[in-house]
Amino acid sequence: MNVPIPIPSPPAHHSGSLQCPTCSGIALAPTQLEFGLPALGCGGCGGAAISLLSYRAWQAHTCVLDAAAVQAPAVAESTRALKCPRCHHIMRKYRVTVDSECRVDLCSACDEVWFDAGEWPLLIALRLHDRLGDILSEPWQTRLRREQATRQYEARYLELLGARDYDVVRKLREWMRRHPLRKHILEYLARGER
Ligand SMILES: [Zn+2]
Ligand SMILES: [Zn+2]
C-alpha cells in the first residue's frame, strides 16, 4: 500500500518587511519559482529569494521539469556582495559551472538563496535545477576551481608554444600518461637534454 508522504509546508515568508538585496527600496512579493516552490520575487530586477528548506521539499517531490523547453537566458549577474534579504548577513557566491559567470548567492546563516534574474531558468537549461544542494557544496566549488586552474594553465601553454606544438606536446603527454614505462621515458628525454 502506498502511504502518501506529507510535504512539509514551507516556512512562512514575511514579505512585508523583506527588501530586494539588489534594488534599493523595493519590497519582495510572494510568488512561485515553480509549482510548489514558493519564492519572494522582486518586480524591479526580476530576482527571487527561496529558502533551501522549501527547495529541498520541492526537489524531493515535484522537481521534474522539461529542461528542453527552457532556453538558456541572459543572466543579470550581480557582481557585488549581497546582503541576505531575511537576516542581512553577507551572502556567499557559488559558481555554477566553469563556462558560466552565473553565481548563486547563499546566506549560510539562514539558508536563504538568491537568484538574480535569469539564474533559475539557466539552472533548468543546464539541467542543474535538481542539483542546487550539490552546487552549494565545497566539493562542487573545489572541482570548479580546479577545472578553472587547469584551463588557465592549458591556455598559457597554448599561447607559449603555439597551436601546432601545443597539440604535439599534449598528445605526447596523453600517450605518456597511459604508458607503464613513463618514468623511463621521462628519464630518457631528460638525458637527451644534457
Ligand atoms: Zn530587485
Ligand atoms: Zn540570511
Find the 113 Cα to ligand 2 centroid distance in Å: 8
Residue 123, burial from CB neighbour count under 10 angstroms (0-12, 13-18, 19+): buried
* Residues in contact with 166: Cβ distance below 8 Å, sequence separation at least 6, in sequence order: 157, 158, 160
Find the 110 Cα to ligand 2 centroid distance in Å: 4
User: Which pLDDT tens digit goes with each residue over 117-176?
Assistant: 999 999 998 999 999 999 999 999 999 999 999 999 999 999 999 999 999 999 999 999
Q: Which ligand is nearest to the CA of 92?
A: 2
User: What mean pLDDT is reported for the chain?
Assistant: 88
Please check whether residue 49 is in contact with residue 14, taking contact to mean a CB–CB distance below 8 angstroms. Answer: no
Please check whether residue 76 is in contact with residue 116, taking contact to mean a CB–CB distance below 8 angstroms. Answer: yes
Find the 20 Cα to ligand 1 centroid distance in Å: 5
Query: With a threshold of 0.85, does the pTM exceed it?
Result: no
- Cell 514575511 locates to 14
**What pLDDT does 6 receive?**
54
Q: Which residues are found with C-beta within 5 Å of the ion, ligand 2? A: 84, 86-87, 89, 107, 109-110, 112
- Cell 603527454 locates to 173
User: Which pLDDT tens digit goes with each residue over 16-51?
Assistant: 579 999 998 899 999 999 988 999 999 999 999 999
Find the 183 Cα to ligand 1 centroid distance in Å: 58
Q: Which of 52, 39, 41, 23 is nearest to 110 (CA)?
A: 52
Find the 129 Cα to ligand 1 centroid distance in Å: 22
Q: Which ligand is nearest to the CA of 107?
A: 2
Q: Which three cell numbers stand for residue 173?
A: 603527454
Between helix 138-161 and helix 163-178 the angle, nearest 10°, is 130
User: Which pLDDT tens digit goes with each residue over 75-85?
Assistant: 777 778 999 99
Find the 63 Cα to ligand 2 centroid distance in Å: 24
Please check whether residue 106 is in contact with residue 83, taking contact to mean a CB–CB distance below 8 angstroms. Answer: no
